[in-house]
């Protein structure tokens, strides 16, 4: 069994990296597990612990979905938290409305369900996680720090492939290892 998810790798640059570094400096006294920049991604579907033969089924489905889909792009913009500012759990960067990303997610999730995978039935909220909050001393400081980035566009992302990742949990944080790369063509 391997812990598996399907995602799009993001290579952070310029403005996004400056924003992350600024947040790290402002929130230095809080307990936040910052996502390693090599692990930044958008999750299209989380499969969890998956048997090897089921991973092969997912790979075949992804190859079919990605063929003929075509390369597309979107902007990373804004920042916020999941749960809420009274009990923040995740710091995220948002994604401008992208019909193509929504369509790709729909095709992947539908393909997984059609091949027998049990996928959570919840709305797709595309984002990248940049930090997981363990504890925070001053939620208002967090709110003020993130409000500075509410209307900022950080970078344009060109999507050329979808990756089937294995998530290997380690004491220092997860390692995401590509199990399959599926080019959009």
Q: Catalogue the active-site residues.
A: 41, 127
Residue 39 Ramachandran class (φ > 0 left, ψ -120 to 50 alpha, else beta): alpha
Phi–psi pair at 115, nearest 5 degrees? -100, 15
Task: Identify the bridge partners of residue 140 per DSSP, sorted by sequence position.
Answer: none
Radius of gyration of the chain (CA): 17
Task: Identify the bridge partners of residue 125 per DSSP, sorted by sequence position.
Answer: none
Q: What angle do CA 47, 124, 23 make, to 5 degrees?
A: 95
- Asked if 12 and 58 touch (Cβ cutoff 8 Å), the reply is no
């Amino acid at each position: 069994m391997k812990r598996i998810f399907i995602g799009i790798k993001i290579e952070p640059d310029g403005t996004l990296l400056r924003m992350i570094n600024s947040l790290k400096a402002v929130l230095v006294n809080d307990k936040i597990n910052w996502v390693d920049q090599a692990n930044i991604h958008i999750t299209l579907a989380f499969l969890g612990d998956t048997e090897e033969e089921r991973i092969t089924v997912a790979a075949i489905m992804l190859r079919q979905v990605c063929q003929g889909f075509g390369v597309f792009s979107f902007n990373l913009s804004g920042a916020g938290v999941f749960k809420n500012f009274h009990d923040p759990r995740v710091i995220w960067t948002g994604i401008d409305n992208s019909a193509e990303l929504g369509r790709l997610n729909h095709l992947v999730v539908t393909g997984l369900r059609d091949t027998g995978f049990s996928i959570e039935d919840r709305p797709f909220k595309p984002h990248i996680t940049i930090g997981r909050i363990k504890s925070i001393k001053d939620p208002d400081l967090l709110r003020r720090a993130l409000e500075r980035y509410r209307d900022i566009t950080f970078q344009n992302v060109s999507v050329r492939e979808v990756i089937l990742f294995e998530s290997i949990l380690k004491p220092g944080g997860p390692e995401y290892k590509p199990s399959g790369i599926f080019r959009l063509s």
